[in-house]
A = this chain, B = another copy of it.
Amino acid sequence: MRIAIDAMGGDFAPKEIVRGAIDAAKKYDCEIVLVGDERKIRAELGGADMDTLHISIVHAADVIGMNEAPAEAVRSKKEASIVVATRMVKEGTCDAVFSAGSTGAAVAAAQLILHRIRGVSRPTIATPMPTPDGVTLMLDSGANVDSKPEHLVQSAVMGSLYAQYVFGIERPRVGLLNIGEEETKGNEQAKETYPLLKTDPNIYFCGNAEGRDVPKGNFDVVVCDGFVGNVVLKFAEGLAKTILGLIREEIRGAGLMAKLGALLLMPTLRHLGKRLDVREYGGAPLLGVNGCCVIGHGSSDAKSIASAIGVTVSYVNGKVLDQIRDALAKEEEETGRV
């Protein structure tokens, strides 16, 4: 298996990307192709033995920045790292592409180069949200807004297959993110989506999920509009950072005994942090395009990158793409919807 990594994408690229790739190369059974400015990548690789690690470099002269209009940039910058990396998947020289750069650019590159799977109207970003016992897959978390009910149904089918074949959950519990448990609750979008999910033979629909059900892990897959998913995802990140900052502030201002307490409690808190750390889960797959594309957080450090590459490896190994293609063909046949 060969994975193309956008070495220039991310707040700490290429340094943390290259470091994460080295860690992943040691840990996972895959070849890694670092795509980007060869000179810079080589400098970050330092003395790493590329042959033993199965790491290679493909030069890409350009980069797409965070503030560029994604589709336009992908069309005009043919030699941008994310474009070159995605092209390698299209051409079959790589099995997957990973980027921690502009999410919009990664999504645009995937749509324009890999194209959508037949039957998929809109690709969707599936973000694993940590829960006490694992993760809840929340999708869409920002690829599309103002989704139609049938888009949410497609998300449910794709997310369910991903949870099944990548997380190994036999019968993923699918929920519709809503403001109440009852079928009649919600906005127009949710009210129209509920009966479609309820009667879909390809998923195990367990009803409405309320906001609190996401962190509690009461569902394996939660579908929502990309607007809501993106707000929730960023809210969770902001809240986690705020709480950590406050804990530090409180301990700094506390007495000697409390400081000693913090020291003694540190391993426990660190273990807890690990359980809740999104970096442990790293990458969010873009589901619905003809190729494995995984998106990382812009602020990813080496650890996040390595774990995201692990996600990418599982994604490829799970053969989820074939499952999604089959399921959507079946879905089309059964429901008459495209």
In contact, A245 and B132 (Cβ under 8 angstroms): yes
CB of B211 within 8 A of CB of A242, answer no
**Which of chain B's residues have a CB closer than 8 A to the CB of A267?**
254, 258
A338 at the interface (CB under 8 A from B): no
* Chain B CB within 8 A of A298 CB: no
State the majority secondary structure of interface residues on A. helix
> Would you give the 0/1 interface string for A213-249, flagging 1 where the beta carbon is closer than 8 Å to chain B?
1111000000011111011111111110111011101
Asked if A187 meets B227 with Cβ closer than 8 Å, knowing A232-B211, A238-B215, A239-B236, the reply is yes
Greatest chain B CB density within 10 A among A231, A233, A263 is at: A231
Q: How many of chain A's residues have a CB under 8 angstroms from any CB in B?
A: 60
Contact A212 B237 (CB under 8 A): yes
The closest CB in chain B to the CB of A243 belongs to B276
With A250-B272, A251-B268, A264-B264: A211-B227 Cβ-Cβ less than 8 Å:
no
Residues of A within 8 A of B (CB): 131-132, 142, 145-146, 177-179, 186-188, 190, 210-216, 224-228, 230-239, 241-243, 245-247, 249-251, 254, 257-258, 260-269, 271-272, 275-276
Q: Which 7 A-B pairs have the closest CB atoms?
A: A261-B264, A212-B238, A211-B234, A261-B265, A211-B235, A145-B187, A215-B239
